[in-house]
Structure 1
Amino acid sequence: MKMYKLFVMSVLLMVVSCTIDKTNYEDELNTAVPEYYEFKEAAVVTKDEFKISIEALNGTFYQGYNEIRLKIINAQTNENISVSNVTFLPVITHPDGNRTSCPNRYNLEYKSAGHYYSGYSVFTDISNASANWKIEVNFTVNQKTYSVNKDISVREQINRNLNMTSFTGNDGEKYIIALISPQKPKVAENQLVAGIYKYNLPNGTGDSLPFSYAEVVGYTLQLDPRMPEPSMGNHSSPNNKDLIQGNNGLYYGVVNYTMTGNWTLNFILLNKNGKIIKGTKVSTDFTPGVQGAKSELFIDTLF
């Protein structure tokens, strides 16, 4: 009889524990996951007869990876203008006056189909009283160079599928990994896209801000996705693929989400020689009732 009572009490404790975990988990899922696919004007500035319009998804700059589209037109006629050497530099000024940049494409690429200049910026901080972002743009028309700048606002990224992380690797270098896609995953195998960047120490010659970060070349980002909730037992999923670099510099892999909820993307970053830069293997043990262990390099997601 005593053993029976102990058994019943154990079952009740497990039910209560799982119910608490499940309730919190469902509360988090009530947060809508936004999807933005339309580019809108996020900032505009006029210089002489030129209008420079900077577009981003949803017309907003978010902390993390942002695709940038820049258009330069005649401010009076709204006609496209033939320009060259278009550069784009985001700069953040700190309370001590120190100016730093972030991973970005400095020399923009012209896309003739849309009549815009293409780039990206990985904003590392949100705008606040102690962090002021400014965009600096240079371009050339008829062999004359023009420079403009514009204060902008960078907002918090509420879509956890677009989270980012920064860390110092075992090689002593500073890195950033930023998730780019999918914005809203499906219960299926999803293409996972990320940018990986390394900080370049100033060399003491010239303006180092435009080149303060570089795209990491030839690395591998090993992937082990898991559901860390105690009620989920930190289980993983099959058919995931590590991220390798594509021709455009971004890293592509596959993450298989077998159900909606909280997921942790556990990573191990390897350099081109196969040496571990950061990350640790996660135990394959199923651990119901226990918060799942994570790699020392990870990004949490939710959908």
Structure 2
Amino acid sequence: MNHTFKLMMLLAALFSFASCSKNNDIGPEQNAEKIRIDEQKTASGVTVTLWADKKDLTVAWNRLYVSLKNTEGAAITNAVVSYTPVMDMTSMEHASPVEQPLYSAAQALYEGAVVFSMPSGTMGSWTLTVSVNNEPVVFHIEVKAAPANTKHTTTLVGTDGISYLVSLVQPLTPKTGMNDLEILINRRQDMMNFPPVEDFNVELTPEMPSMGHGSPNNENPVHTGRGHYSGKVNFTMTGDWRLHFRLKRGNTVIMEDAALDLLF
């Protein structure tokens, strides 16, 4: 009896260890929060899988992820990965702001982001080239228009004659009360390059157009790195909200009103 009991305990311990090991090795395939967009293979046989946080990619700042596997199915975590988004409008091509991916051990994914500035459709189509150690694969991307009464990215020409893109990073799921606010600002250097802007002073004025009021205790976004500006916005009730951003370089106003619209 004693021998049988010890054997049962040993088997139970081995089963528990195997279960724990499996649960601690969670990759994107087991992560219900990530949506698989597509999969391609490089010329050398590396499997490149593209992931997102949501089913639909929209005219907005979109976080995009990549997982890599070698020909034996093992994860690759030390590759050099880059994104190149291009909109083909037949008569011309242009890119959009991009944040190049870096490997995240917590996500077990390469994590980056793309600002898609217009929807797919009759005007043109998007591709995203993912380069893995200088080997490119091309994903055809469908980008949908922003939901009605929302605008999470905007492009305006400043007083200096330069086009700037202002994009909402958070909150993507706004709530009543104080919210962390983060925006990304890029400038159009040319049709293919949109470097981040790191030297603006940003003033925030929230407005609820349908009710004709704003909100108190907001904090102006300040630059935190790579064109990201972080602050606080107070939504006093649900509904339609417009975030007015005044962009200044020193004391010079570059953009009087870059506005983004949220609805929740």
* Superposition TM-score, scaled by structure 2 size: 0.81
Distance 1:134 1:175, change over 3 A: same
Pick aligned residue for 2:219 from 212, 229, 241: 241
Letter matched to residue 168 of structure 2: L
Greater Cα shift, 218-227 or 168-177: 218-227
Output aligned runs, 1:248-259, within 5 Å.
249-259=227-237
Q: Equivalents in 1 of 2:83, 2:73: separation in Å?
A: 21
CA contact 1:40–1:55 (8 Å) conserved in 2: yes
Could you say which residue in structure 2 is the equivalent of 1:278? 255
Could you say which residue in structure 1 is the equivalent of 2:28? none
Output aligned runs, 1:81-96, within 5 Å.
81=76, 83-96=78-91
Q: CA deviation at 1:227?
A: 1.7
Pick aligned residue for 1:78 from 64, 73, 87: 73
Could you say which residue in structure 2 is the equivalent of 1:168? 157
Q: Equivalents in 2 of 1:103, 1:125: separation in Å?
A: 12
Output aligned runs, 1:188-199, within 5 Å.
188-199=177-188
Structure 1: 5+ residue stretches without partners? 1-36, 203-208, 280-295
Distance 1:82 1:251, change over 3 A: closer
Distance 1:192 1:161, change over 3 A: farther
- Does 2:111 match 1:130? no
CA contact 2:186–2:227 (8 Å) conserved in 1: no
Match of 2:98, SS? coil
Superposition RMSD in Å: 2.0
Greater Cα shift, 112-121 or 128-137: 112-121
Output aligned runs, 1:140-155, within 5 Å.
140=133, 145-155=134-144
CA contact 2:151–2:260 (8 Å) conserved in 1: no
Q: CA deviation at 1:160?
A: 5.6
Pick aligned residue for 2:52 from 50, 56, 64: 56
Structure with the largest fraction of strand: 2
Structure 1 stretches (4+) deviating beyond 6 angstroms?
none
Pick aligned residue for 2:96 from 99, 102, 105: 102
CA contact 2:198–2:226 (8 Å) conserved in 1: no
Q: Equivalents in 1 of 2:157, 2:233: separation in Å?
A: 25
Q: CA deviation at 1:161?
A: 6.1
Greater Cα shift, 123-132 or 240-249: 240-249
Q: CA deviation at 1:248?
A: 5.4
1:114-160 per-residue CA deviation (whole Å, 9 max, x = no partner) reads 332121100001110331111112222xxxx4221121111123286
Letter matched to residue 90 of structure 2: P
Could you say which residue in structure 1 is the equivalent of 2:12? none
Pick aligned residue for 2:175 from 186, 189, 206: 186
CA contact 2:80–2:132 (8 Å) conserved in 1: yes
* Superposition TM-score, scaled by structure 1 size: 0.71
Distance 1:132 1:159, change over 3 A: same
1:228-250 per-residue CA deviation (whole Å, 9 max, x = no partner) reads 22xx2x22211011111114541
Letter matched to residue 221 of structure 1: V
Structure 2: 5+ residue stretches without partners? 1-31
The percentage of counterpart residues that share the same residue type is 26
Letter matched to residue 194 of structure 2: Y
Distance 1:80 1:160, change over 3 A: farther
Q: CA deviation at 1:83?
A: 4.8
Could you say which residue in structure 2 is the equivalent of 1:298? 259
CA contact 2:197–2:226 (8 Å) conserved in 1: no
1:22-68 per-residue CA deviation (whole Å, 9 max, x = no partner) reads xxxxxxxxxxxxxxx92221121122421101111124322110111
Pick aligned residue for 2:206 from 218, 222, 225: 225
CA contact 1:197–1:216 (8 Å) conserved in 2: yes
